[in-house]
Structure 1
Amino acid sequence: MTQTYLTTNELSARIKYDARTIRERLKDSVLLEGRHYFRPFNGRKILYIWEAIEADMFMQPAFDTSIPMANGANCHV
């Protein structure tokens, strides 16, 4: 199986998020080490696995965990 490995800058160009947002907000909360990215040779460089990220981006939640609020918004739990 062929996988596409991307640097943070290459991933940011594909998903239209700033590289800093990926590093500070998405990594380790949404993008998980071992599933979405890895550190080759136990180094500092991070390579993202495009196919795993793309598959998770299109997944629908199994059920809605949001709570409707009076102003029409939803509180996500």
Structure 2
Amino acid sequence: MSHTYLTTQELSERIKYTPRTIRNELKDSVLIEGIHYIRPFGGRKILYVWEEIEKDMRVGVSGSINAMALQ
């Protein structure tokens, strides 16, 4: 399986959050290292795994819709 790796700026453009929000609010709370992002070669650079982020974003939406249907 191939993955699409994005910088913080590229992810920001796709999900419509500022890079600052991604770094300060989402990283390590919603976006988990090893699942949603990696640090290649043990460095400081962070690359986000688009397929994992997109999958989890969709699960959150479908989960909310299912919860509303049960009410």
Same fold per superposition (TM over 0.5):
yes
Q: Report 1 or 2 for greater relative contact order, CA contacts < 8 Å, sequence distance ≥ 6.
A: 2
Report sequence identity in percent. 67
What is the SS of the residue equivalent to 2:48?
Answer: strand
Moved over 3 A (4+): none
TM-score (norm 2): 0.84
Q: 2:45 maps to what in 1?
A: 45
- Number of positions where the alignment pairs a residue of Structure 1 with one of Structure 2: 63
The two structures have a TM-score, normalised by structure 1, of 0.78
Cα distance in 1 between the residues matched to 2:10 and 2:45: 13
- Relative to its length, the structure with more helix (as a share) is 2
5+ residue gaps, structure 1, are 65-77
Which residue of the partner structure matches residue 19 of structure 2? 19
Aligned to 1:75: none
RMSD after superposition:
1.3
What is the CA distance between 1:2 and its match in structure 2?
A: 1.1
Richer in strand (by share): 1
1:31 and 2:31 equivalent? yes
- Residue 40 of structure 1 and its aligned partner are, at CA, apart by 0.2
Equivalent position of 1:73 in the other structure: none
Which structure has the greater CA radius of gyration? Answer: 1
Q: Which runs of 5+ in 2 are unaligned?
A: none
